[in-house]
């Protein structure tokens, strides 16, 4: 559970730091403490709400993956663990995911600068690469099954299928948001109207890329 605890400690640290900043020395019962009078914006964050929502969601997902990794670390120590040889195809898939993240970042910059054509290209390329990643992962499963590495034959295998499946599901969820952005562009939205969606997609993709690199690294090294 150490990994999870570190993450929780980090999050709690953020919460407490933010809170102390906002609350230390404030005496809400005193009327003339400077914040009392009308013209205060109450310290409300100015970020777009969807962006804050996404970050909170990422914290939830991180919590989940941390717990999976903790479970992995604990289960690994038991006697029956036999590491499985990760298929080389995974390196290709990883490459695809990296490229899709880059493409989205490119689209995000294009959206910022109102370059609608590059935006479209970036977005489409990212989508195709991502679908390529998913298909690649399915092929990796196929290959492992063909080689006799079944889910129920070893916990290391089970974790492999579990991790890839969950990560894949999150990617699919991201693709829903991606489809919405693409279809809005098709229906003639301009760059400004999809700027936020594209930005959020990019953040989400980078996040899932990091998650994948960690999971992949973990499985390679153990």
Give the residue carrying structure tokens 């690994």: 76
Site string for another protein, 185-214 (x = CB under 8 A): ------------------------------
Is residue 172 involved in binding another protein (CB under 8 A)? no
Q: Which DSSP symbol is given to 222?
A: -
**Residues from 82 through 141 that contact another protein (CB under 8 A):** none
Q: What is the spatial distance between Cα 54 and Cα 31, in angstroms, rounded to a whole number?
A: 36
Pick the binder of another protein from 10, 17, 57, 91 (CB under 8 A).
Answer: 57
Is residue 60 involved in binding another protein (CB under 8 A)? yes
Q: Which DSSP symbol is given to 20?
A: H
Considering only the stretches 65-73, 108-116, 137-145, 178-186, report the one whose residues sit in contact with another protein under the rule CB under 8 A.
65-73
- At closest approach, how far in Å is the CB of 153 from another protein? 9
Instruction: Single out the residue of 102, 90, 109, 222 nearest to residue 164, CA to CA.
Output: 90
Is residue 184 involved in binding another protein (CB under 8 A)? no
Q: What is the spatial distance between Cα 97 and Cα 206, in angstroms, rounded to a whole number?
A: 9
Considering only the stretches 24-32, 87-95, 131-139, 202-210, report the one whose residues sit in contact with another protein under the rule CB under 8 A.
24-32
Pick the binder of another protein from 6, 10, 52, 217 (CB under 8 A).
Answer: 52
Which secondary-structure segment (H or E) carries 163?
A: helix 155-186
Residue 180 and residue 200 in contact, taking contact as beta carbons nearer than 8 Å:
no
Q: What is the spatial distance between Cα 66 and Cα 195, in angstroms, rounded to a whole number?
A: 31
Size of the site for another protein (CB under 8 A): 56
Is residue 176 involved in binding another protein (CB under 8 A)? no
């Amino acid at each position: 559970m150490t990994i999870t605890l570190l993450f929780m400690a980090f999050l709690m640290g953020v919460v407490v730091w933010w809170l102390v900043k906002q609350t230390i020395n404030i005496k809400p019962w005193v009327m003339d403490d400077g914040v009392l009078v009308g013209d205060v914006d109450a310290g409300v964050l100015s970020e777009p709400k969807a962006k804050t929502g996404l970050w909170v969601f990422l914290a939830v997902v991180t919590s989940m993956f941390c717990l999976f990794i903790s479970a992995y670390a604990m289960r690994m120590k038991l006697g029956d663990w036999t590491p499985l040889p990760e298929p080389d195809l995974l390196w290709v898939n990883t490459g695809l995911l990296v490229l899709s993240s880059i493409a989205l970042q490119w689209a995000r910059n294009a959206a910022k600068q109102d370059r609608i054509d590059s935006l479209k290209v970036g977005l489409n390329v990212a989508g195709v690469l991502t679908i390529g990643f998913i298909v690649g992962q399915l092929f990796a499963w196929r290959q492992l099954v063909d080689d006799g590495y079944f889910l129920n034959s070893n916990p290391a295998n089970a974790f492999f299928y579990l991790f890839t499946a969950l990560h894949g599901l999150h990617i699919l969820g991201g693709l829903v948001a991606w489809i919405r952005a693409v279809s809005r562009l098709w229906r003639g939205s301009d760059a400004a109207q999809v700027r936020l969606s594209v930005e959020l997609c990019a953040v989400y993709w980078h996040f899932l890329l990091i998650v994948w690199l960690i999971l992949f690294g973990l499985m390679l090294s153990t």
